[in-house]
Amino acid sequence: MRIAVGQFASAEDWQSNLEACEALIGQAVEGGADLLVLPEDSLALFIDEPERIAEAAQPLNGPFVTALLERTKGAPTTVVVGLHEPAGNGRVHNTLAAIRDGAIVAAYRKVHLYDAFGARESDRVLPGDGRPVVFGCAGWRIGLMTCYDVRFPEMARLLVDAGAEVLAVPAAWVRGPAKERHWEVMVTARALENTCYVAASGECGRRNIGSSMVVDPLGIVRDRLGERPGLLWAIADRDELAAARRALPVLANRRFRVDPSIRPRQEVTA
């Protein structure tokens, strides 16, 4: 499977972001990508006024996704892209849509909300129901998770237990002390501990680090981007995956199951 991962600097104007997404889709299709992973916050990004996320949110049948559906018609490339979707009462879902040939083939609503490093995503965003979302692409099984989800190893393991061989991780990873190191460690660990590929797209620009990457089942970074917009390429190979799982049979050797039940959210107090 040929994987492309794109990153760009999301703006407040969704039409500008749509143009950036469409340009990356065009490059991916021209390059023969089976899978293209685009960032979280691809619809709109409000740095100083995060409360405006709700007013900018669009449903999956809104103009942003509808335009992307039209752009993918007749193309074999599956595009994973993030947006905020209205959830009622002024709240939103942080949603991933997997789009292929003019149709939505899967959707995932972020489970782990970014209430960390002084941020409070849960003030505006409702979490999803936690069910693993895995879909087929070019004979492979792709699992979906979003940004902060990557800090929770049980999330990736549930996806792999559901059949995922590649984890697609759109993100908008905020800059901060050691944060780029956190990103690299977490993305690599999720690949290595599950002997799977991870295709992680990071939004770049004024607030976020970019640093999109693809990691193979033995934890090797196959390609990565820096802080600027761009597109990277990698190959997921069936024989390579099987060889990694024979050499490092952690999935067969493990002794514990991951319980898929959802814990009640707990507030963190000072």
Side by side, the strands of the sheet bearing 221-224 are: 134-137, 140-144, 166-171, 197-202, 213-215, 221-224
Q: How many CA atoms lie within 13 A of 2 on its CB side?
A: 12
Could you give the CA distance from residue 182 to residue 174 in angstroms, rounded to a whole number?
A: 11
Per the annotation, the verdict on 110 as an active-site residue is yes
Residue located via tokens 């104007």: 13
From residue 245, alpha-carbon distances to 7, 138, 189, 194 in Å are 30, 20, 15, 9
Instruction: Give the active site residue among 110, 121, 165, 204.
Output: 110
Burial code of 249-260, b = ≥16 C-beta within 10 A, e = fewer?
A: eeeeeeeeeeee
CA 128 from centroid of its chain's CA atoms: 14
CA dihedral 100, 148, 228, 221 (to 10 degrees): -80
CA dihedral 88, 51, 230, 69 (to 10 degrees): 20
Reported as type and span, the H/E element at residue 253 is helix 250-253
Instruction: Give the active site residue among 21, 40, 165, 204.
Output: 40
Instruction: Give the active site residue among 21, 137, 147, 196.
Output: 147
Task: Tell me the backbone φ, ψ of residue 212, rounded to 5 degrees.
Answer: -60, 150
Per the annotation, the verdict on 179 as an active-site residue is no
Task: Tell me the backbone φ, ψ of residue 140, rounded to 5 degrees.
Answer: -110, 160
Per the annotation, the verdict on 40 as an active-site residue is yes
Residues annotated as catalytic are 40, 110, 147
